[in-house]
Amino acid sequence: MAQCLRWERGDSVLDVGCGTGRTTQHIAQQGVKSVVGIDQSPDFIRCKMGIPDFCWGENLSFYIYRYTKENAEDTNVSFSVADIQRFSELEPSWLQSFDKAVSFYVLHLIRDKRSALENIRACLKPGGQLLMIVPTDDNVLMVTTRHMSSHRRWGKYLADCPRMMPWSADDREGLSGLAEECGFEVLSCECPLMLHWYSSEEATISAMLPFLGLHYIPAEEHADFLSDWWASVKSMTDASGCSALVDQAGRVAWTFSIL
Ligand SMILES: C[S@@+](CC[C@H](N)C(=O)[O-])C[C@H]1O[C@@H](n2cnc3c(N)ncnc32)[C@H](O)[C@@H]1O
């Protein structure tokens, strides 16, 4: 983030799809004037996507953090529930008021990407900047969730599970073109491979759980479902370089590409 955006003391920043608020919190600590985190889910990711008990600690600390921040007099962080696709859900005070916006790992989840981008644009001051990260469609998570949706045992449960709608890795034009149509000037659009280490198979599954559609699967079949999903992860070989490899210590190297 620091390579792409230079934070200034007077910056007002919008974090679209802030989730648990970690990025929002990080930005607030960069000496900016204020940060607003918005997310469509009133409970952010927690309830909506059914994060299990073992993730609770992290979310709980976020809620405590949010509570403390919202109740502190000198806070420079605030959070709101809003669907970025809906102009009517934007606070009038946000319009043309932000110097910078970020949106990390959100746009691929949004059906009406044009409205989302137009609404972010409407919140930015003239000359304001947006930094986005969107995973591409050749990532292990995308490929394996598609596989599970057409799986002979699991497909029937996942028919109504919302699909993630990413761009392909070689479609920078798709993302840049849409951003330009929504009034942005695209300064740069890159597609790097990223590597994230998870401490174990369990930690990897825990991190991916919100995106697997587990709540569409009967509870008594969760273990089988996760086992089949993990088998499909391990069998994935992809020319794109995206992979999940388990090392001898049981750690998982999760390589993924982003736009
Ligand atoms: C993968 S999480 C990313 C969270 C955070 N940006 C991060 O990098 O950790 C995606 C978030 O986008 C939110 N989201 C999805 N669609 C949205 C929309 N239309 N408007 C606002 N937030 C949305 C979800 O509720 C979820 O919290």
Q: Give domain limits for the chain.
A: 1-133, 139-164+192-259
- What pLDDT score was predicted for residue 70? 53
Residue 85: exposed, middle, or buried by beta-carbon count in 10 A (0-12, 13-18, 19+)?
Answer: middle
86 alpha carbon – ligand 1 mean position (Å): 14
Inform me whether the pLDDT recorded for 211 exceeds 50. yes
pLDDT tens by residue, 59-78: 444 554 554 455 444 478 88
Q: What angle do CA 155, 157, 158 make, to 5 degrees?
A: 65
pLDDT top residue among 172 and 90: 90
Q: Out of 52-56, 163-167, 206-210, which region has the weakest mean confidence (pLDDT)?
A: 52-56
Q: What percent of the chain has pLDDT over 70?
A: 86
- What pLDDT score was predicted for residue 43? 57
45 alpha carbon – ligand 1 mean position (Å): 8
From 39, 49, 114, the mutation candidate for ligand 1 (largest count of ligand atoms within 8 A of CB) is: 39
Find which of 67-76, 101-110, 228-237 is predicted with most confidence, using mean pLDDT: 101-110
Q: Which CATH architecture has domain 1-133?
A: 3-Layer(aba) Sandwich (3.40)
105 alpha carbon – ligand 1 mean position (Å): 7
- What pLDDT band is residue 131 in, cutting at 50, 70 and 90? very high
230 alpha carbon – ligand 1 mean position (Å): 24
Inform me whether the pLDDT recorded for 150 exceeds 70. yes
248 alpha carbon – ligand 1 mean position (Å): 34
Q: Kindly report the average pLDDT of the chain as a whole number.
A: 85
Helix/strand/coil (H, E, C) string of 29-92? CCCCCEEEEEECCCCCHHHHCCCCHHHHHHHHHHHHHHHHHHHCCCCCEEEEECCCCCHHHCCH
Torsions phi, psi for 109 (to 5 deg)? -90, -5
Q: In the predicted model, what is the mean pLDDT of residues 203-216?
A: 89
- What pLDDT score was predicted for residue 239? 63
**Token code pair at residue 51:** 């994060």
Distance from the Cα of residue 208 to its chain's centroid: 11
Q: Out of 20-24, 60-64, 110-114, 156-160, which region has the weakest mean confidence (pLDDT)?
A: 60-64
Give the list of residues 6+ apart from residue 243 with CB closer than 8 angstroms, or none.
140, 236, 237, 253, 255
Give the list of residues 6+ apart from residue 6 with CB closer than 8 angstroms, or none.
none
Q: In the predicted model, what is the mean pLDDT of residues 129-147?
A: 93
Q: What percent of the chain has pLDDT over 90?
A: 56
Inform me whether the pLDDT recorded for 99 exceeds 50. yes
Q: Which ligand 1 atom is nearest residue 84's CA?
A: 20
- What pLDDT score was predicted for residue 199? 94
pLDDT top residue among 1 and 228: 228
Inform me whether the pLDDT recorded for 42 exceeds 50. yes
Q: In the predicted model, what is the mean pLDDT of residues 168-181?
A: 90
Q: In the predicted model, what is the mean pLDDT of residues 179-186?
A: 97
Number of residues written out for the chain = 259
Name residues contacting ligand 1 (CB within 6 A): 17-19, 22-23, 38-41, 44-45, 83-85, 104-106, 109-110
